[in-house]
Amino acid sequence: MTAPEPQTDSWIYIVPIQNLQISPDLGVKVKVGRVMLLTKSSLSRLRRRLDIPLPISSYWLSDMDPLDQSSENSKYAAHGVVRETGTSEEVSTYAWKEVQDAVRILATSFYPWMRRGFFCPFGVGLQGASGRRLEMLIGTGTGQSQGHWGALGGVIPAQLTREWWRCCKQKWNGFRDLLQIFDGSRGTECTLVRALRSAAIFAGRSWLATGNRADCLLFGWIALEIMLLDSQDKTETVLVRRLENLFNCESISSFARGRDQESKRQSIQENVKRLFKLRCALVHRGDASGVT
């Protein structure tokens, strides 16, 4: 007797994101690629649009919730939400990775925000909900569910606030532009979209690897090479030159011309070459001794 074929259905995948909260003053819906970021209250309001037949609260298993449902952490905790069709196993695997990548992309928005003087306790987290994987699959139309979901607590959660979004819209930041490219509203060529998405994911992984400087360096260099190199390029010569040009263009307005600017150019060149040597030692020999 042959085993029955796995059932293909339409699902709403929901997973909490550790150490990330959505402030009630944000005022916009944040979507990274195919991943919507919502609080539990937002999910309740969007239930019918998502074709979830039963109230969200009916899927909540209070005995599985590590935080009290009335607590502030639970109230504003961010959840990654993905609509997908397939078997429950396929959707769980695919959507989990989509949410992880969305978190990594989101991480890149906090670095320029911090550089401009805004305080953000970002170093503590914004990690995908790992360890205790609490997730929920809800069948659209049918209301059938699998798994359980809840809010994971963090030490000091990062917050998506109105000030954060205002920063994302600035020309010197460009994160809102990046989100628009990923959701297709900019009409950007597909190859460039894939490269930008891959580079943003690795840049985010670099930013999230706060406890491991070797990983931070490696992921950062991968992001740079995705954006600055073609497959035919000789890595060291071309990458060093392009990085020099990139950093020099950024610093022209901040430094005087003439000898001061030439001194700055030489400093950039030396630092880029030093970092590239660290990258090569790490990649080719597994030697992280120079990364301090």
| DSSP notation for 36-98 | EEE-HHHHHHTTTTTT--S-GGGG--GGG-SS-TTSHHHHHEEEEEEEEEE-HHHHHHHHHHH
Distance of CA 194 to the CA centre of its chain: 15
Count how many domains the chain has. 2
Q: How far apart are CA 202 and CA 215, in angstroms?
A: 10
Contact 100, 128 (CB under 8 A): yes
Where does residue 19 fall: left (phi above 0), alpha (psi -120 to 50 degrees), or beta otherwise? left
Q: Is residue 213 part of a domain?
A: no
Whether residue 120 is found in the same domain as residue 230:
no
Whether residue 22 is found in the same domain as residue 131:
yes
Whether residue 31 is found in the same domain as residue 141:
yes
Whether residue 50 is found in the same domain as residue 173:
yes
Whether residue 15 is found in the same domain as residue 131:
yes
Residue 188's pLDDT is 83
What is the pTM (predicted TM-score) of this model?
A: 0.77
The closest alpha carbon to 207, from 291, 279, 123, belongs to 123
Identify the bridge partners of residue 83 per DSSP, sorted by sequence position. Answer: 12
Q: How far apart are CA 235 and CA 276, in angstroms?
A: 10
State the residue range of the domain holding 64.
Answer: 9-182
pLDDT along the chain (292 residues), means of 10: 68 82 89 90 82 76 44 74 88 87 86 53 42 65 63 55 86 86 86 91 83 84 85 70 67 50 74 83 87 78
Whether residue 63 is found in the same domain as residue 170:
yes
Residue 157's pLDDT is 66
Whether residue 116 is found in the same domain as residue 236:
no
Residue 31's pLDDT is 93
Residue 200's pLDDT is 92
Q: Is residue 164 part of a domain?
A: yes
**H helices present in the chain, as ranges:** 40-45, 72-76, 88-107, 110-115, 162-168, 175-182, 190-208, 213-228, 235-251, 259-285
Whether residue 31 is found in the same domain as residue 109:
yes
